[in-house]
Structure 1
Amino acid sequence: MGFSHITHLDRKRFAGLSQRTSNALEMTEERRIPALWDQFWKQDMSALLSQAEKDKSIIALYSNYEQETYTFSVGTFQEYDDILPGPYENIDLPASAYAVFTSRIGPIEEIVLETWKEIWTWDKRHLRTFTGDFEMYDQSAAVPQRAQVNIYVAIKK
């Protein structure tokens, strides 16, 4: 599928579990992202996903980019006035334009990496701002072997 469209989103507050990592580290046996996903699913999610918001999307957020490292977080977007206590990290994303990439339908681990590879090629135009990018896991990603994911990449206007 690939690049879908450009949209503008107002500032957002994210709450979730976080870990510093790099793409190089994620290619080794010491990778941290799978363990963070495991921790997220084992954690009591009631603070993040209230009964009134069962359909809230799970967000995988990439923020605080510094040279080769970044913070990877798994959680949800919250109301802007809410600040959740530890172990959740609260991260504010500025209002931004985003290029939205839609994966094909397939096994979740394959389609996410495939879509990021396309983004890295697309980014040769140097449009990214690195203020915060995120993968949105909604109902279309509920079946891991037949998932579809949207990835939002912050860009210059």
Structure 2
Amino acid sequence: MNEPVIEKRKVTLDGFSFVGRAARTTNEAEMTEEGMIPKVNEYFFENQLLEKISHRKNNNIIALYTNYESDEKGSYEYAVGCEVGEDNIFSDEMKRFTIPEQKYIVFTTKKGPLNEVILEAWQFIWNWSKDNKRAFTADFELYDEKSIDPQNGQADIYISVK
């Protein structure tokens, strides 16, 4: 069986501003019909919210996990959107987040159907987290040019660390 993560590297990123559609959830809720992540994603794409965000830094889409109550067992805020400049305009359907400078471990998924390779990578990360110190400040999935084909794509998952 192929490993779910083909690369892992440590980086420090400058802080950035993000705008996206957001909802509060838990990992426990996401394992049920009550999960908010699919609903947030569906609303974001069906209503073409990316096009309603001005001053985008690029065309990358970010799935953000932030404002953690505690750790992977507590609630957190999930949002899908993009990195923006300071003077951007966005609709009431969205929210702005400020992501601080942070150290991350970046996990690059293998290529494949994005919904499958992302889930496999997160399962790998949850196992990795048992022996590593996560910061639980802001984690995110980055969907860039490697992710254009949802049936044979690849993404980077940034996990904040101490």
**Same-fold status (TM-score > 0.5):** yes
Distance 1:6 1:136 in 2: 15
Distance 1:100 1:66 in 2: 22
Secondary structure at the counterpart of residue 8 of structure 2: strand
Unaligned residue ranges in structure 2 (runs of 5+): none
Distance 1:131 1:12 in 2: 13
Q: Deviations over 1:84-132 (max 9, x none)?
A: 3522100111101110000011111111111111111111224210110
Distance 1:6 1:83 in 2: 33
**Is 2:135 the partner of 1:129?**
yes
Q: TM-score, normalised by structure 2?
A: 0.87
In the TM superposition, 1:2-151 aligns within 5 A as: 2-44=6-48, 45-48=50-53, 56-67=59-70, 68-82=74-88, 84-151=90-157
Moved over 3 A (4+): 80-85
Identity of counterpart residues, as a percentage?
A: 37
Q: TM-score, normalised by structure 1?
A: 0.90
Distance 1:153 1:2 in 2: 15
Unaligned residue ranges in structure 1 (runs of 5+): none
Equivalent AA in structure 1 for residue 67 of structure 2: N
Over 3 Å counting, the alpha-carbon distance change for 1:66 and 1:83 in structure 2 is farther
Equivalent AA in structure 1 for residue 134 of structure 2: R
Judging by fraction of residues, say which structure has more helix.
1
Q: Deviations over 1:38-57 (max 9, x none)?
A: 1001224323266x86x520
Secondary structure at the counterpart of residue 146 of structure 1: coil
Contact 1:12 1:80 in 2 (8 A): no
Contact 1:40 1:74 in 2 (8 A): yes
Q: Deviations over 1:59-94 (max 9, x none)?
A: 000001114111110000111443635221001111
Secondary structure at the counterpart of residue 145 of structure 1: coil
Q: Deviations over 1:117-153 (max 9, x none)?
A: 1111111224210110000011111111101010001
Equivalent AA in structure 1 for residue 88 of structure 2: D
Contact 1:16 1:74 in 2 (8 A): yes
CA RMSD of aligned residues (A): 1.8
Contact 1:83 1:90 in 2 (8 A): no
Distance 2:68 2:47 in 1: 26
Contact 1:2 1:118 in 2 (8 A): no
Equivalent AA in structure 2 for residue 34 of structure 1: P
Equivalenced residues, count:
154
Distance 1:115 1:2 in 2: 9
